[in-house]
Structure 1
Amino acid sequence: MKSSKFIYTQALEVNDALQALAAGNGAAKPMSGSQSLGPMLNLRLARPAQVVDVGRIPGLRTVRGAGDVVEIGAAVTHAEIEDGVHEPLADHPMRKVAGEIAYRAIRTRGTVGGSLAHADPAADWVVTLAALDARVRLASPRGEREVQADAFMLGAYTTVLESDELIVALIVPRSSQTLQWGYHKVCRKPGEFAEASAAAYFDVTRGCARIVLGAVDGPPILLHELSAAVANASARREAGAVTREHLRQAIAKALPARDAIDRKLFTACVERAITQSGVLANLYHGE
Structure 2
Amino acid sequence: MKAASFGYMSVLELDEALQALARSEGAAKAMSGGQSLGPMLNLRLARPPQVIDIAGLPLLRQVKAVAEGIEIGAGVTHSEIEDGHHAPLVGHPMQGVAAGIAYRAVRNRGTVGGSLAHADPAADWVVVLPALGARVRLRSPRGERTVEAAGFMLGAYTTVLEPDELVTAVIVPRHTPSTRWGYHKLCRKPGEFAEASAAIYLDEAAGVSRIVLGAVDGPPLLLDALASAVARDGASAASRAQLRAAVAAALPERDPIDLKMFTACLERALEHAGVVARTQATGAPT
What is the TM-score normalised by the length of structure 2?
A: 0.96
1:279 positional shift = 3.1
Show CA shifts across 1:123-175 (max 9, x none).
Answer: 00000001011101000000000111111111100111110000000010011
How far apart are the structure 2 equivalents of 1:219 and 1:54?
A: 26
Map of 1:171-190 to 2, 5 A cutoff?
A: 171-190=171-190
Q: Is the 8 A contact 1:240 1:284 kept in 2?
A: no
1:28 positional shift = 0.8
1:68 positional shift = 4.4
Aligned partner of 2:161 in structure 1 is 161
Q: What stretches of structure 2 of length at least 5 have no aligned partner?
A: 282-286
1:199 positional shift = 0.5
1:208 positional shift = 1.0
Show CA shifts across 1:205-238 (max 9, x none).
Answer: 222100100000000000011000100013xxxx
How far apart are the structure 2 equivalents of 1:262 and 1:222?
A: 17
> Which deviates further from its counterpart, 55-64 or 273-282?
273-282
How far apart are the structure 2 equivalents of 1:269 and 1:4?
A: 40
Q: Is the 8 A contact 1:202 1:279 kept in 2?
A: no
Show CA shifts across 1:170-208 (max 9, x none).
Answer: 010011111110000000110011100000100112221
How far apart are the structure 2 equivalents of 1:79 and 1:61?
A: 13
Q: Counterpart of 2:144 in structure 1: which amino acid?
A: E
Aligned partner of 1:4 in structure 2 is 4
Q: Which of 244, 247, 252 is residue 248 of structure 1 equivalent to?
A: 244
RMSD value, Cα:
1.4
Aligned partner of 1:114 in structure 2 is 114
2:227 maps to 1:232: no
Aligned partner of 1:273 in structure 2 is 269
How far apart are the structure 1 equivalents of 2:278 and 2:189?
A: 30
What is the TM-score normalised by the length of structure 1?
A: 0.95
1:240 positional shift = 3.0
Q: Is the 8 A contact 1:35 1:106 kept in 2?
A: yes
Q: Is the 8 A contact 1:230 1:280 kept in 2?
A: no
Aligned partner of 2:53 in structure 1 is 53
Structure 2 CA distance for partners of 1:209 and 1:283, relative to 1, 3 Å: farther
How far apart are the structure 1 equivalents of 2:43 and 2:269?
A: 35
Q: What stretches of structure 1 of length at least 5 have no aligned partner?
A: none
Aligned partner of 2:212 in structure 1 is 212
Q: Which of 255, 259, 262 is residue 259 of structure 1 equivalent to?
A: 255
Q: Counterpart of 1:51 in structure 2: which amino acid?
A: V
2:65 maps to 1:88: no
Q: Is the 8 A contact 1:131 1:210 kept in 2?
A: yes
Structure 2 CA distance for partners of 1:283 and 1:137, relative to 1, 3 Å: farther
Q: Is the 8 A contact 1:200 1:273 kept in 2?
A: yes
1:283 positional shift = 9.3
How far apart are the structure 1 equivalents of 2:258 and 2:232?
A: 28
State the SS of the aligned residue for 2:145.
Answer: strand
In the comparison of the two structures, how many residue pairs are matched?
Answer: 281
1:280 positional shift = 4.2
Aligned partner of 1:104 in structure 2 is 104
Structure 2 CA distance for partners of 1:166 and 1:53, relative to 1, 3 Å: same
1:91 positional shift = 1.1
How far apart are the structure 2 equivalents of 1:60 and 1:69?
A: 17
Aligned partner of 1:66 in structure 2 is 66
How far apart are the structure 1 equivalents of 2:165 and 2:211?
A: 29
Structure 2 CA distance for partners of 1:241 and 1:151, relative to 1, 3 Å: closer
Q: Is the 8 A contact 1:243 1:283 kept in 2?
A: no
How far apart are the structure 2 equivalents of 1:80 and 1:241?
A: 37
How far apart are the structure 1 equivalents of 2:51 and 2:182?
A: 37
